[in-house]
């Protein structure tokens, strides 16, 4: 079985299924499935089809599956969280919970694990996770509040829409979130649902912060320090929110809890030497030459024109990170389906889970 | 399942307390907690139930009634939650092995929950006395008969904790107050009073007490402290900021401690805590664990405040003014968690960030809404 195909299948499958809903209801996106969950589903399928005879072999097969998923993914962080959680679950969890009669027989235990693995995540469970989080966070959204959110997050959408359904008059600022521009998607969906929503430039966050009551963001992963990994720009927002003394809330399903302890941006698994690299001197010379020649040959009549139009958006995006790490001291609360936690609470959970 | 109604005498006891709470004949978190506990004890001893659910429903019903009577006295709800938690615990010990625990499905979410801070498992106090049989058709009272003595013991435990709360809070006062320090406090808090007096047995230090207008609880506090032989200054509220540079530590009492580590405390506490923050003076809060409230400050900072009697601010003797101004006298301040350095409780000292964990250990999640 090719695990990568399964994974992609899982992701796509759900999206295809949810497509009709996109048109018919405002409950968009909630039916989609996120990478960690797809990874868990793919791995549990691997469990079910694997011919491993012992626990050791099963874990090995799972690790291999997880590795190949990682290799084939451009942004492995959230996917990794899912894989790790599942493997830890398989290796640690059942030992305490299998009935003692089963525990006596190692082979039975092994079969029991596979059985658990198969039913561990019913497809719709992702939905209940988000509903739970939305229920938790909706208490924190008071009537008449102005919320700043970043990029597009399914769980944030669910919370905002729930607040709207509960007749809370909210209005939302959403950042454009370059380079992917997913903020536009959020804006469209919210406007369609009847929530006043304005897209702001990523560079206008500080300008807008004064009007904002609190910040609500989703997450790629929540890490052991209690910090947060999310689409690039979240750190900026968190720092500005802290400076303006505004609460910064993160929403994270529990399958996004990731056993990772980054100390800086450069400790993230998504970091590679290409990110933020300076061009080599040769390239710089050439670029400068080009710029000067174009400046001299073409007229100087357009002072407002960009200095060098030779850099494209794609080139910028290529050298830039996709995600950033937000330190725990900048986060007010993390809402998860296990409860609303302080960042230190998140780290207690994570430490407790894997040790 | 029909819930057996509690019999008339217990209803009367509950209503009685509800009215007292409503009329504010009982105020203060410890007093209300004690009264609630006594009523609960009466309810449990008198009520008829033949299984766990019925018992829990009865207690919840009583709890809801009392909380609705005075929603700002958080310790009422806390006591009910704590009793429910103890009851469940005793029930599980008593029925260990006999009751079939519902096997729920396994899920990642449950696995994550496993990582939650481990509850301290107290050694089982009671040995398994026979088998407890729920819903016995021949003898519907057998369950209640079997469980009641254990429950009474559990309630007694809670009661003991409440009664010894001052002693236990002040147990390690010596570690917090050093010789020749200047301590600032405000309002009248029995917990803080006991704490300071117990430290005074071994240390020689000075206390500054703010008058704490408009209730002037600070005056009573100053009197009590100086009667105990502590060198005490009573200072007006307005001099707070000026004095802060000379203060080594601010010790406050609390009305309720919230899950995020913030607290409700007597008006003036926020001012004192903010001034202390500006001077980097440590702020320490003394409170019993019955004040732990499973609430997050839900933005309703203003609405969550309790309003006191406006006549303390503007009396009727100034009649010509009374109908020209609106007088508000908020009784409590909400102090955010980042302004507090430590909570000294009857069960150890805790930073604000681990309060939520204590709350998870003390109450069952399902009881957060009674």
Domain residue ranges of chain B, discontinuous segments joined by +: 8-99+109-163, 166-367
Optimal mutation site among B111, B302, B334, B366, interface A, most CBs of chain A within 10 A: B111
Q: Are A151 and A275 in contact (CB under 8 A)?
A: no
Helix (H) or strand (E) holding A282: helix A281-297
What is the average pLDDT value for chain B, to the nearest integer? Answer: 83
| Residues whose CB falls within 8 Å of the CB of residue A38, separated by 6 or more in sequence, listed in order | A7, A10, A11, A14, A79, A82
pLDDT tens readout for residues B194-241: 999 999 999 999 999 999 988 899 999 999 999 999 999 999 999 999
Optimal mutation site among B103, B115, B260, B368, interface A, most CBs of chain A within 10 A: B115
Mean local confidence (pLDDT), A275-292? 74
Which percentage of chain A shows pLDDT scores above 90?
34
Chain B residues with CB under 8 Å of A352 CB are 114-118
B352/chain A closest Cα distance in angstroms: 10
B118/chain A closest Cα distance in angstroms: 8
Q: Are B285 and B265 in contact (CB under 8 A)?
A: yes
Cα–Cα distance measured from residue B361 to residue B279, given in angstroms and rounded to the nearest whole number: 34
A82/chain B closest Cα distance in angstroms: 10
The verdict on a CB contact (< 8 Å) between B108 and A86 is: yes
Chain B residues with CB under 8 Å of A257 CB are 112
What pLDDT is stored for residue A25 in this prediction?
Answer: 30
- Whether chain B has a CB inside 8 Å of the CB on A119: the answer is yes
Q: Is the pLDDT of residue B4 over 70?
A: no
Chain A residues with CB under 8 Å of B108 CB are 40, 85-86, 89, 120-121, 254-255
Q: Is the pLDDT of residue B6 over 50?
A: yes
Q: Higher-confidence residue: B104 or B338?
A: B338
The verdict on a CB contact (< 8 Å) between B260 and A333 is: yes
What pLDDT is stored for residue B303 in this prediction?
Answer: 56
Mean local confidence (pLDDT), B114-128? 48
Widest distance between CA atoms in chain B: 74
Which of A258-262, B134-138, B267-271, B297-301 is most confident?
B267-271
User: Which chain B residue has its CA at the smallest distance from A96's CA?
Assistant: B114
The verdict on a CB contact (< 8 Å) between A93 and B114 is: yes
Which percentage of chain B shows pLDDT scores above 70?
83
* Buried residues in A294-315 as b, exposed as e (16+ CB within 10 A): eeeeeeeeeeeeeeeeeeeeee
Q: Is the pLDDT of residue A110 over 70?
A: no
**Quick one: pLDDT band at residue B98, thresholds 50, 70, 90?**
low
**Quick one: pLDDT band at residue B301, thresholds 50, 70, 90?**
low
Residue length of chain A: 355
Q: Is the pLDDT of residue A10 over 80?
A: no
Cα–Cα distance measured from residue B267 to residue B335, given in angstroms and rounded to the nearest whole number: 10
pLDDT tens readout for residues B140-163: 667 777 788 888 888 998 999 999
Question: Between chain A and chain B, how many beta carbons pairs sit less than 8 Å apart?
Answer: 80
At the topology level, CATH places domain B8-99+109-163 in 1.20.120
Q: Is the pLDDT of residue B7 over 70?
A: no
Query: Two tokens at B152?
Result: 């009474």
CATH class for the region spanning A125-263+320-354: alpha beta
Chain A residues with CB under 8 Å of B356 CB are 341-342, 345
B364/chain A closest Cα distance in angstroms: 13
Q: Is the pLDDT of residue A18 over 50?
A: no
Chain A residues with CB under 8 Å of B357 CB are 345, 348
- Whether chain B has a CB inside 8 Å of the CB on A225: the answer is no
Optimal mutation site among B100, B108, B367, interface A, most CBs of chain A within 10 A: B108
The verdict on a CB contact (< 8 Å) between A353 and B114 is: yes
Helix (H) or strand (E) holding A314: helix A313-318
CATH of domain B166-367: 3.40.50.10470
Name the H helices within B117-261. 142-163, 165-169, 190-200, 217-227, 240-244
What pLDDT is stored for residue B278 in this prediction?
Answer: 96
User: Which chain A residue has its CA at the smallest distance from B112's CA?
Assistant: A353
What pLDDT is stored for residue B269 in this prediction?
Answer: 94
Task: Give the residues across from B264 on adjacent strands.
Answer: B256, B334
Q: Is the pLDDT of residue B113 over 70?
A: no
Chain A residues with CB under 8 Å of B105 CB are 119
Q: Higher-confidence residue: A81 or B82?
A: B82
By Cβ distance, the residue of B115, B300, B353 closest to A353 is B115
Cα–Cα distance measured from residue B241 to residue A311, given in angstroms and rounded to the nearest whole number: 56
Optimal mutation site among A94, A352, A354, A355, interface B, most CBs of chain B within 10 A: A352
Query: Two tokens at B368?
Result: 């957060």
Which of A71-75, A78-82, A95-99, B1-5 is most confident?
A78-82
Q: Is the dihedral of CA A328, A331, A336, A341 positive or negative?
A: positive
What pLDDT is stored for residue A146 in this prediction?
Answer: 96
Half-sphere exposure of A29 (CA within 13 A, CB side): 19
- Whether chain B has a CB inside 8 Å of the CB on A147: the answer is no
In this structure, of A340-354, B22-36, B213-227, B264-278, the range with the lowest mean pLDDT score is: A340-354
Q: Are B192 and B121 in contact (CB under 8 A)?
A: no
**Quick one: pLDDT band at residue B317, thresholds 50, 70, 90?**
confident
SS3 of residue B63 by DSSP: helix
Q: CATH 3.40.50.10470 spans which residues of chain A?
A: 125-263+320-354
**Quick one: pLDDT band at residue B1, thresholds 50, 70, 90?**
very low
Integer angstrom CA distances of residue A76 from A36, A46, A81, A270, B197? 9, 19, 9, 7, 59
The model carries a pTM of 0.78
SS3 of residue B12 by DSSP: helix
Cα–Cα distance measured from residue A291 to residue B191, given in angstroms and rounded to the nearest whole number: 75
Rounded to a whole number of angstroms, the distance between the first and last alpha carbons of chain B is 19
**Quick one: pLDDT band at residue A29, thresholds 50, 70, 90?**
very low
pLDDT tens readout for residues A310-349: 788 888 888 889 899 999 999 999 999 888 888 888 888 8
């Amino acid at each position: 079985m090719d695990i990568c195909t399964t994974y992609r299948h899982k992701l796509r499958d759900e999206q295809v299924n949810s497509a009709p809903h996109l048109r018919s209801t405002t409950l968009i996106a909630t039916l989609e499935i996120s990478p960690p969950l797809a990874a868990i589903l793919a791995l549990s399928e691997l469990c079910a089809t694997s011919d491993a005879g012992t626990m050791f072999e099963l874990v090995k097969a799972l690790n291999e599956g997880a590795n190949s998923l990682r290799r084939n993914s451009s942004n492995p962080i959230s996917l990794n969280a899912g894989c790790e959680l599942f493997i830890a679950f398989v290796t640690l969890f059942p030992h305490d919970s299998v009935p003692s009669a089963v525990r006596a027989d190692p082979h039975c235990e092994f079969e029991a694990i596979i059985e658990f693995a198969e039913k561990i995540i019913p497809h719709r469970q992702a939905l209940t996770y988000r509903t739970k989080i939305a229920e938790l966070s909706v208490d924190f959204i008071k009537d008449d509040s102005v919320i700043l959110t970043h990029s597009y997050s399914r769980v944030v959408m669910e919370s905002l829409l729930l607040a709207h359904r509960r007749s809370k008059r909210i209005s939302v600022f959403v950042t454009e979130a370059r380079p992917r521009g997913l903020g536009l998607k959020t804006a469209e969906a919210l406007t369609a649902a009847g929530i006043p929503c304005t897209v702001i430039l990523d560079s206008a966050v500080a300008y807008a912060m004064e009007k904002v009551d609190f910040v609500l963001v989703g997450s790629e992963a929540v890490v052991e320090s209690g910090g947060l990994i999310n689409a690039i720009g979240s750190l900026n927002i968190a720092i500005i929110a802290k400076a303006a003394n505004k609460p910064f809330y993160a929403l994270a399903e529990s399958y996004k809890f990731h056993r990772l302890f980054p100390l800086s941006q450069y400790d993230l698994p998504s970091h590679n030497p290409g990110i933020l690299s300076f061009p080599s001197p040769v390239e710089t010379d050439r670029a400068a030459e080009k710029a000067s020649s174009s400046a001299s040959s073409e007229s100087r009549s357009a002072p407002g024109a960009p200095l060098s139009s030779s850099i494209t958006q794609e080139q910028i995006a290529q050298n830039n990170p996709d995600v950033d790490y937000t330190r725990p001291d900048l986060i007010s609360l993390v809402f998860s389906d296990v409860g609303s936690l302080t960042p230190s609470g998140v780290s207690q959970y994570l430490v407790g889970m894997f040790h | 399942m029909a819930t057996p109604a509690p019999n008339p005498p217990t209803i009367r006891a509950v209503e009685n307390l509800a009215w007292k709470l409503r009329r504010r004949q009982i105020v203060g978190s410890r007093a209300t907690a004690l009264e609630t506990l006594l009523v609960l004890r009466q309810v449990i001893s008198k009520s008829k139930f033949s299984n766990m659910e019925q018992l829990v429903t009865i207690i919840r019903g009583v709890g809801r009634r009392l909380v609705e009577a005075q929603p700002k006295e958080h310790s009422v709800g806390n006591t009910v939650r704590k009793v429910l938690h103890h009851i469940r615990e005793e029930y599980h010990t008593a029925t260990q092995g006999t009751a079939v625990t519902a096997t729920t499905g396994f899920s990642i979410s449950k696995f994550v929950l496993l990582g939650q801070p481990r509850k301290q498992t107290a050694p089982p106090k009671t040995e398994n006395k026979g088998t407890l049989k729920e819903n016995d058709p021949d003898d519907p009272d057998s369950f209640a008969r079997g469980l009641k003595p254990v429950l009474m013991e559990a309630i007694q435990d809670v009661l003991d904790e409440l009664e010894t709360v001052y002693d236990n809070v002040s147990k390690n006062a010596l570690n917090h107050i050093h010789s020749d320090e200047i301590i600032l406090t405000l309002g009248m808090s029995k917990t803080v009073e006991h704490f300071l007096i117990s430290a005074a047995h071994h240390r020689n230090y000075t206390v500054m007490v703010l008058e704490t207008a408009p209730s002037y609880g600070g005056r009573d506090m100053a009197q009590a402290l100086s009667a105990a032989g502590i060198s005490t200054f009573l200072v007006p509220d307005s001099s707070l900021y000026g004095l802060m540079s000379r203060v080594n530590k601010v010790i406050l009492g609390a009305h309720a401690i919230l899950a995020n580590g913030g607290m409700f405390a007597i008006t003036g506490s926020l001012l004192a805590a903010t001034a202390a923050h500006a001077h980097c003076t440590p702020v320490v809060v003394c409170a019993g664990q019955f004040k732990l409230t499973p609430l997050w400050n839900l933005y309703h900072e203003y609405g969550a405040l309790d309003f006191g009697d406006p006549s303390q601010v503007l009396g009727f003797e100034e009649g010509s003014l009374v109908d020209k101004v609106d007088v508000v006298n908020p009784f409590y301040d909400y102090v955010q968690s980042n302004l507090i350095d430590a909570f000294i409780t009857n069960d150890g000292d805790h930073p604000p960030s681990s309060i939520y964990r204590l709350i998870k250990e003390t109450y069952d999640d399902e009881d957060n809404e009674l």
